[in-house]
Amino acid sequence: MKSVLALLDFSGVTDAVVKTAVDMVRAFQSKLILLHVATPDADYEGDEMRTDISRTGVAGEMHRYHRELQKITTDCTGAGIDVTALLVRGTSARGNPVQKILEEVDRVRPDLIVVGSHGHGRIHDILLGSVSSAVIRKAPCPVVVVPALKHLPVGTDPVKH
């Protein structure tokens, strides 16, 4: 196994996703690729332009994502992990990152994908779909799903744990 792709959304399950991916990378002596697809809210809601969206707001959001991704990258590098971080902006309707994720999967060609699940349940997935479900169905490689319940204790470093 050459590479493991960890899909990060900076939610409560992110630390567990990073820990699982790091464990896989160590076990298989692989490279870790961290991916966050930023999906700033749409400029329009119906026919009305939203006033809470601006270039400054989107830039600030992207900067925050970059800082969070950089911290995880630095922690992994410090722990001896060969890591590459990718921050891309999703452009699909309704901020759905699935298509952009699949484009990146096709580009980087990982041997394994690690993604978190928020545990919204089957009804939520059927009605609205979910990123993890879509990635599982469409990924060209195995996908490990880390459940939302697998949170690490508060203050635990997912890379060193």
Instruction: Assess contact for 116 and 144: CB atoms under 8 A.
Output: no
**Mean pLDDT score across all residues of the chain:** 81
Distances (CA, A) of 102 to 46, 99, 108, 128: 27, 5, 10, 18
Q: What is the β-pairing status of strands 48-49 and 44-45?
A: antiparallel
Enumerate the domain spans of the chain.
3-147
What mean pLDDT do residues 42-54 have? Answer: 50
What mean pLDDT do residues 65-86 have? Answer: 96
3-state secondary structure the chain: CCEEEEECCCCCCHHHHHHHHHHHHHHHCCEEEEEEEECCCCCEECCEECCCCCHHHHHHHHHHHHHHHHHHHHHHHHCCCCEEEEEEECCCHHHCCHHHHHHHHHHHCCCEEEEEECCCCHHHHHHHCCHHHHHHHHCCCCEEEEECCCCCCCCCCCCCC
Q: Which of 8-22, 82-96, 142-156 has the lowest mean pLDDT?
A: 142-156
Class in CATH terms, 3-147 = alpha beta
pLDDT > 90 fraction of the chain, expressed in percent and rounded: 50
In sequence order, the 6+-apart residues with CB closer than 8 A to the CB of 143 are: 112, 113, 114, 115, 132, 135, 136
What mean pLDDT do residues 73-82 have? Answer: 96
What mean pLDDT do residues 56-79 have? Answer: 88
Read off the tokens for 19. Answer: 């820990």
From the list 84, 92, 8, 106, the residue with the least C-alpha distance to 42 is 92
21-34 in b/e burial notation, b at 16+ Cβ within 10 A? bbebbeeeebbbbb
pLDDT level of residue 28 (50, 70, 90 thresholds): very high
